[in-house]
Structure 1
């Protein structure tokens, strides 16, 4: 989630030469469950900022160990239904949240950026709480994710040269995400992104309910204004700012 406040930032910088020495009980999710699909968007240009965010040196999901184990349990339940979790964001370095704030105040707004904020100018995102200088993601206990139907054709991929409709448009017009249709794209700053909104179709509402229910059975709580955002109460603590580095095999 872009917003959500919590915690004091603890500067725990990890050098590239010690990238595997994660602090504070953090782990790479691939080491817990490699079957969980990962598309860490802030490590790419396919996000609302349009470039990798500060601190994202690799597209790896890093979480607290307890969070990872509970995600594994969710994944095992979903596998029996030919479904999978897909992670969009996990631990977020504190510097990345500050990078978002700087972006919102840079005085420029492109059409590609407006795809994520079709009805709210980027200059208003911080004031309205959609972007915060501190994020629960930086504690390792918050996640952005969706569901993938493993029986469906998920081959569509983001093409930066294409012009896509905004995140509230029908799924065929939005940038492809290789996942089920939740009614909006990921990181959609709009009322349609609110989990329980009624202005989406019944199938989209059903997918949201399935995701929320599966996560809730392992103790995760959804943030009502973002269908993709979940946190595990009590698993967080202090926020961190170590960079995400490539995982060594």
Structure 2
């Protein structure tokens, strides 16, 4: 959910490609599946399993779209992890600018639901903008920022989200919170809480070790972690202008 306020927003409208051809993307952008199909994807903002509780504007498909350089470096990270029987799992990649504005509108709609509190257990949603968790401009919209985690390929990752179940909030023990089919990082994804800070002292030794392992794997390829969100990484110099083209299904 992290947003960089200083980034220059240049909304660029891109027409949808003809269904008879491969989905077109602006120059420099690629579908991650075309770079490395082994990287697991769980694009939460294309579903209702996120802090807003519905798909966000611009997410017409659950596809990770990134700048080509970002994709190539993710492939290198994945190659290193494969030797350890681990995999990356992508929660969010390129984010249309309209989705960031959708988040801002949600934070200001005057309603606070139990589903909202699942992701924001101690911070009222009206405070998320002031505290920097939500802003109108996102580095994700440049294609150079990512939200991700690690999957232990040796573990049972079969648990699925049950929409009818009342899960505990994102700081609860892993067995009680919304399943993510990944290693236990101490909180769920998009958890706006001090426990979500990468170096949070309140998590267990094993959880801290997993976070350090993720940060180290990403840092080897030049990615930088955001200290308040263990899942958020960016690649310095790979960004630029922000875009607003919608994410559409990838076509072969």
What range describes the TM-score normalised by the shorter chain of this pair? over 0.9
1:243 and 2:246 equivalent? yes
1:13 and 2:16 equivalent? no
Runs of 5+ consecutive residues of structure 2 not aligned to the other structure: none
User: Aligned partners of 2:109, 2:27: CA distance in 1, in Å?
Assistant: 34
Which is worse superposed, 183-192 or 2-11? 2-11
1:203 alignment partner in structure 2? 206
The Cα of 1:109 is off from its aligned counterpart by 1.1
Which is worse superposed, 14-23 or 143-152? 14-23
User: Aligned partners of 1:218, 1:134: CA distance in 2, in Å?
Assistant: 25
**Structure 1 vs Structure 2 CA RMSD:** 1.0
1:99 alignment partner in structure 2? 102
Q: Which structure 2 residues correspond to residues 211-230 of structure 1 after superposition, within 5 A? A: 211-230=214-233
Superposed CA offset, 1:82-125 (max 9, x none) = 00000000000000000000000011111011000000000111
1:220 and 1:232 in contact (8 A); partners too: yes
Runs of 5+ consecutive residues of structure 1 not aligned to the other structure: none
Superposed CA offset, 1:136-168 (max 9, x none) = 000000000000000000000111110000000
1:6 and 1:136 in contact (8 A); partners too: no
SS at match of 2:87: strand
The Cα of 1:15 is off from its aligned counterpart by 2.5
1:148 and 1:180 in contact (8 A); partners too: yes
Q: Which structure 2 residues correspond to residues 35-184 of structure 1 after superposition, within 5 A? A: 35-184=38-187
Task: State the TM-score, normalizing by the size of structure 2.
Answer: 0.97
1:36 and 1:87 in contact (8 A); partners too: yes
